[in-house]
C-alpha cells in the first residue's frame, strides 16, 4: 500500500524540552504512533469546507469570464458592507442630535432664530378654503403638515388636505335636542387638539362635551363629560395621550385618552378660562379671561403659579418654548412671559391699533396668538384686517413688528406648521367666544399663508 510514513526522530536528551514543545504533566500517557503507522494522504480524506472553497476558487478550469464575475461580486459585497457601516454611523449621529435637541427643548434652550429669514408673503399666493357655514373658531395642523382640521360655530369639523385644499372628510354638526341620535357636536365647536403622533383628535363645544376622534378616519371613539360649562380650550401633553381641558366653569380637567379615563380636576381661576396650552413637561398654562391672570399648573407637584400684569380679559395663550409664552387680551395688548417671572417680560399696547369714531376709539381685541415652536417668531390675530407677525429679540424682552398679512374678519385661530413653512388662520364674521358684532365683508374659512424665506449667507 502506498502512503506516507513517519520516521522515528532522535530522542531528546533526558530532562530537556524541545523548542516549541510544552512539558506535559506526569500522568496517563497517550499512545504514541507506532513506527511505520500509516497516515492517509490528503487525497484520501475529506477536505475541510474552507479548504474546499479555496480549492474551488482556484480551479484551473475557471474561465476568465467566471473569474471576472466572481471578483465583481466580491467587490460589490465589500461596497455594500462599507455603505451599511456609513448608514449606521449616520443613524447614530441623527439619534444623538435628536436626543440633544430633546434635552435642550425640555430646558427651554432650543432656539430656531428664523425671524431674519422671513419675508412678507405674496397676497396672490394666500389660499382660502371654504366649507363652513359659520365662523371658524379653531384649527389644528397634523404633525406631518399634510392636513388641517377646522371647527366652526356651525357645529361641524372638516379635515382638509393642505396640498390641494380639498375636503378629506367632514363631521357634520347636529341640532340641539338630537344628541341621542347624532354622533358629534350639536353646539358651537370652540376648541380642538391633536396628539403629537397624530392619532387622536379632541374637540370641545359650548355644550360642555369633549369628543375624541380617530384623526385618520374621523371615526368617533369616545365622549368625555364632566365640565359644567363650555369647553374653551384643549391641549395634549406632547409625547403622551394625556389631555388637558379648560372650561368656562373655571376648572381644568386632566384625562387619559388612550384609556378613556378621567384623572383629576384643578381649580384656581376666578373667572372663565379662555385658553390653554402645553408642551412636553407635565404642566399646562392657562389664560384666565376676566380675572386678568395667567397660570402655570404643575401637575405632578399639584401646585400652580399665578402671573398678572396684563389688563383686560386675557383671551388667548401660546407657549413659544418650555420657558416662554405669549398672550393676547381684549385691551389690544400682546405680552411675552417667562414661566419663572410673575410680570410680563415685554408688552405691546394696542398691538392691532384701535377702531371707531374719533374720541370713541376702542382697541382691536387680540383674539388669537401663535408661535413657531422654539423660535423667535410669534403671530397675532384680531379684527383690524391684518395678521401681524412679530420678532422676539434676544432674551424675549421686546416685540418688534416684522410684517402684516392682510386678512379680513375675526382671526379666531392661528397656527404655524411644524416646519414653519406656512401659517394657517381660521377666520369668521364673528368672534369665537360671542356675537358682539359682525363683519359682513369677512368670509368664514381657512387661509393658508405660505411663509417665504430670505436667502441666507449659508445658502449662497
Could you please report the per-residue DSSP string of 211-245?
EEEETTT--EEEEE---SS-EEEEEEPTTS-EEEE
pLDDT of residue 216: 96
CA 426 – CA 444 distance, rounded (Å):
8
CA 132 – CA 116 distance, rounded (Å):
36
**Is the dihedral angle over the CA atoms 400, 371, 367, 265 positive or is it negative?**
negative
- Using the predicted structure, report yes or no on whether residue 441 has a pLDDT greater than 50: yes
Say if residues 254 and 285 touch (Cβ distance below 8 Å).
Answer: no
Query: How do residues 311-346 score in pLDDT, each as one tens digit?
Result: 899 999 999 999 999 999 999 999 999 999 999 999
pTM for this one? 0.76
| Whole-angstrom Cα Rg for the chain | 36
- Beta carbons within 10 angstroms of residue 142's beta carbon: 18
pLDDT of residue 67: 83
Average pLDDT, the chain: 85
CA 413 – CA 427 distance, rounded (Å):
7
Question: Quick one: cell of 399?
Answer: 416685540
Query: How do residues 165-204 score in pLDDT, each as one tens digit?
Result: 999 999 999 988 777 788 999 999 999 999 999 999 999 9
Say if residues 62 and 54 touch (Cβ distance below 8 Å).
Answer: no
- Using the predicted structure, report yes or no on whether residue 21 has a pLDDT greater than 80: no
pLDDT of residue 85: 86
**Among the ranges given (32-41, 356-365, 371-380), the one the predictor scored with the smallest mean pLDDT:** 32-41
Task: Say which DSSP state 166 is in.
Answer: -
Say if residues 137 and 412 touch (Cβ distance below 8 Å).
Answer: yes
CA 14 – CA 460 distance, rounded (Å):
85
Mean pLDDT of 56-67: 69
Higher pLDDT, 402 or 38: 402
Mean pLDDT of 250-271: 96
- The helix/strand/coil state of 104 is helix
| Architecture of the domain delimited by 115-178+185-354+362-453 | 7 Propeller (2.130)
pLDDT of residue 210: 98
Percent of the chain with pLDDT over 90: 64
Question: Cβ neighbours of residue 145 under 8 Å, at least 6 residues apart?
Answer: 162, 417, 418, 419, 421, 422
pLDDT of residue 41: 44
Mean pLDDT of 2-9: 43
For residue 410, what are the β-bridge partners? 428
CA 98 – CA 114 distance, rounded (Å):
19
Higher pLDDT, 46 or 105: 105
pLDDT of residue 89: 79
pLDDT of residue 385: 94
Higher pLDDT, 161 or 29: 161
pLDDT of residue 17: 45
- Beta carbons within 10 angstroms of residue 424's beta carbon: 23
Element (H, E) at 53: helix 49-57
Give residue 217's pLDDT band: very low, low, confident or very high (50, 70, 90): very high
Mean pLDDT of 435-444: 90
- Using the predicted structure, report yes or no on whether residue 291 has a pLDDT greater than 60: yes
Backbone φ and ψ for 117, nearest 5 degrees, come out as -85, -20
- The helix/strand/coil state of 200 is strand
Give residue 389's pLDDT band: very low, low, confident or very high (50, 70, 90): very high
Mean pLDDT of 203-211: 97
- Using the predicted structure, report yes or no on whether residue 270 has a pLDDT greater than 90: yes
Mean pLDDT of 215-237: 97
- Using the predicted structure, report yes or no on whether residue 98 has a pLDDT greater than 90: no
Give residue 48's pLDDT band: very low, low, confident or very high (50, 70, 90): very low
* Structural domain boundaries in the chain: 115-178+185-354+362-453
**Among the ranges given (114-118, 193-197, 386-390), the one the predictor scored with the smallest mean pLDDT:** 114-118
Question: Quick one: cell of 182?
Answer: 347624532
Question: Quick one: cell of 361?
Answer: 376709539
Give residue 9's pLDDT band: very low, low, confident or very high (50, 70, 90): very low
- Using the predicted structure, report yes or no on whether residue 31 has a pLDDT greater than 70: no
DSSP 116-144: GGEEPPPGGG-EEE---SS-EEEEEE-TT
- Using the predicted structure, report yes or no on whether residue 432 has a pLDDT greater than 60: yes
Higher pLDDT, 260 or 357: 260
Percent of the chain with pLDDT over 70: 82
Amino acid at each position: 500500500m502506498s502512503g506516507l510514513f513517519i520516521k522515528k526522530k532522535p530522542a531528546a536528551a533526558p530532562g530537556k524540552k524541545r523548542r516549541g514543545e510544552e512539558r506535559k504533566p506526569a500522568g496517563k500517557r497517550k499512545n504514541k504512533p507506532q513506527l511505520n503507522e500509516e497516515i492517509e494522504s490528503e487525497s484520501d480524506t475529506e477536505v475541510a469546507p474552507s479548504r474546499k472553497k479555496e480549492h474551488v476558487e482556484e480551479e484551473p478550469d475557471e474561465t476568465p469570464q467566471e473569474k471576472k464575475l466572481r471578483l465583481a461580486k466580491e467587490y460589490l459585497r465589500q461596497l455594500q458592507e462599507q455603505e451599511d457601516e456609513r448608514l449606521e454611523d449616520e443613524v447614530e449621529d441623527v439619534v444623538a442630535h435628536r436626543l440633544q435637541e430633546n434635552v435642550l427643548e425640555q430646558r427651554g434652550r432650543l432656539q430656531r432664530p428664523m425671524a431674519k429669514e422671513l419675508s412678507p408673503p405674496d397676497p396672490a399666493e394666500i389660499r382660502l378654503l371654504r366649507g363652513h357655514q359659520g365662523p371658524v373658531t379653531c384649527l389644528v395642523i397634523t404633525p406631518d403638515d399634510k392636513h388641517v382640521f377646522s371647527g366652526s360655530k356651525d357645529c361641524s369639523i372638516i379635515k382638509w388636505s393642505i396640498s390641494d385644499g380639498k375636503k378629506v372628510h367632514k363631521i357634520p354638526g347636529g341640532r340641539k335636542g338630537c344628541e341621542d341620535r347624532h354622533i358629534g357636536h350639536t353646539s358651537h365647536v370652540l376648541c380642538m387638539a391633536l396628539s403629537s403622533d397624530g392619532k387622536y383628535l379632541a374637540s370641545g363645544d359650548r355644550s360642555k362635551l369633549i369628543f375624541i376622534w380617530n384623526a385618520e378616519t374621523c371615526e368617533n371613539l369616545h365622549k368625555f363629560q364632566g365640565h359644567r360649562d363650555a369647553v374653551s380650550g384643549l391641549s395634549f401633553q406632547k409625547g403622551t395621550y394625556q389631555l388637558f381641558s379648560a372650561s368656562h366653569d373655571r376648572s381644568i380637567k386632566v384625562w387619559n385618552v388612550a384609556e378613556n379615563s378621567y384623572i383629576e380636576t384643578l381649580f384656581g381661576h376666578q373667572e372663565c378660562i379662555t385658553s390653554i396650552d402645553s408642551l412636553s413637561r407635565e404642566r399646562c398654562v392657562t389664560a384666565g379671561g376676566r380675572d386678568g391672570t395667567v397660570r402655570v399648573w404643575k401637575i405632578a407637584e399639584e401646585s400652580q403659579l399665578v402671573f398678572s400684569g396684563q389688563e383686560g380679559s386675557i383671551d388667548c395663550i401660546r407657549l413659544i418654548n418650555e420657558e416662554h409664552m405669549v398672550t393676547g387680551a381684549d385691551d389690544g395688548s400682546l405680552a411675552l412671559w417667562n414661566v419663572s417671572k410673575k410680570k410680563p417680560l415685554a408688552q405691546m399696547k394696542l398691538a392691532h391699533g384701535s377702531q371707531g369714531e374719533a374720541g370713541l376709539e376702542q382697541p382691536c381685541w387680540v383674539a388669537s396668538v401663535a408661535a413657531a415652536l422654539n423660535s423667535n417668531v410669534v403671530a397675532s390675530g384680531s379684527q383690524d384686517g391684518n395678521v401681524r407677525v412679530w420678532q422676539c429679540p434676544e432674551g424675549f424682552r421686546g416685540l418688534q413688528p416684522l410684517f402684516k398679512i392682510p386678512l379680513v374678519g375675526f382671526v379666531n385661530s392661528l397656527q404655524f406648521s411644524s416646519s414653519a413653512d406656512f401659517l394657517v388662520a381660521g377666520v369668521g364674521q364673528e368672534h369665537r367666544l360671542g356675537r358682539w358684532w359682525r363683519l359682513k365683508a369677512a368670509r368664514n374659512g381657512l387661509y393658508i399663508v405660505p411663509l417665504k424665506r430670505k436667502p441666507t449667507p449659508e445658502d449662497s
